[in-house]
Amino acid sequence: MNIYVCIKQVPDTEAVLNIKEGKFINEENIKWIISPYDEIVLEFALQLKEKNSDFKVTLITVGPPRAESTIRSGLAMGAENAIHIEASDYLDHKTIAKALAQALKNEGDFGVIFTGKQAIDDDASLTHIYLAQSLEIPVVTNVIGFQMEAEKVIVEREIDQGAREKIEMSIPCVIAATKGINDVNEPRYATLMGIMKAKKIPIKKISIQDLGIEGATPTVTTEKLEAPPEKPSGRIIEGEVTESIKELVRLLKDEAKVL
């Protein structure tokens, strides 16, 4: 079975982001990584491959040329193949999903398609749902448990108030996973041998225009992007405890207006 793992390139969680021209992120000096939830599910897909010799793991992503570095990182972890749908312009989630779906249809041999439950840059949690809709296959999100039996999978997912539910689905299907699906706490690090091997693996490049997607014009556009206001510095109330409490109550009432 060919297992596909959808990954997205995002800024490192420790990156300092600055706004450019009121609509874009200034990409200078940003370190780019695999979105952490995608990396978690990639680790799980690699574990499945290690337990099943007939499984192959293929990465697929939509993004600009710089996304190749993220693909190489995934290949260095142990994936065998990769597809890069090149698109430099901003695309909304539905258009990205249509591109992924068309590329998978062209490949024609997809079984289980893994994604992270959301990307950490926009936290939208939409692409996997649109992807399943485009492929007309079942989808489940927030997955923390996975079993495969013949032509079906049984998954366990988190729902409200800590409860869990089990769902049985036929293959092919889309699985959007979260922390807890792996047997290990952290995804593996790429070894030096893995990094050297990844450099030699050919990446299949596809222009998004070549996919011929109908109705692929983005329906969502960015009108304005701005950083959140800086939080005011805290205030230390000095003095005796009794007087400090009185002053705190006064400040909460007269300045903060929360009492």
Residue listed under structure tokens 């010799």: 53
CA distances from 164 to 56, 113, 142, 144, 159 (A): 30, 22, 10, 9, 6
Beta bridge partners of 166: 156
pLDDT of residue 185: 67
pLDDT of residue 216: 64
Contact 146, 153 (CB under 8 A): yes
pLDDT of residue 234: 82
Q: 76: exposed, middle or buried (C-beta count within 10 Å: 0-12, 13-18, 19+)?
A: buried
Which residues, in sequence order, are CB contacts of 100 under 8 Å at separation 6+? Answer: 6, 60, 62, 85, 127, 131, 134
For the chain, give every domain's residue range. Answer: 2-211, 229-259
Contact 208, 87 (CB under 8 A): yes
Q: Are strands 164-170 and 32-34 parallel, antiparallel or unpaired?
A: unpaired
Residue 238 CB coordination number (10 Å): 7
pTM of the predicted model as reported, rounded to 2 decimal places:
0.84
Tokens of residue 229, six digits: 């206001």
Which residues, in sequence order, are CB contacts of 180 under 8 Å at separation 6+? Answer: 144, 145, 158
Tokens of residue 217, six digits: 């014009």
Residue (of 1, 59, 58) closest to 35 by Cα position: 59
Mean pLDDT of successive 10-residue stretches along the chain, which has 259 residues: 93 84 81 93 94 93 94 95 90 92 92 93 91 95 90 90 89 93 80 92 93 74 81 84 90 85
Measured in degrees and rounded to the nearest 5, phi and psi for residue 90 equal -65, 135
pLDDT of residue 76: 96
Class of domain 2-211: alpha beta
How far apart, in whole angstroms, are the C-alpha atoms of residue 59 and residue 49?
Answer: 13
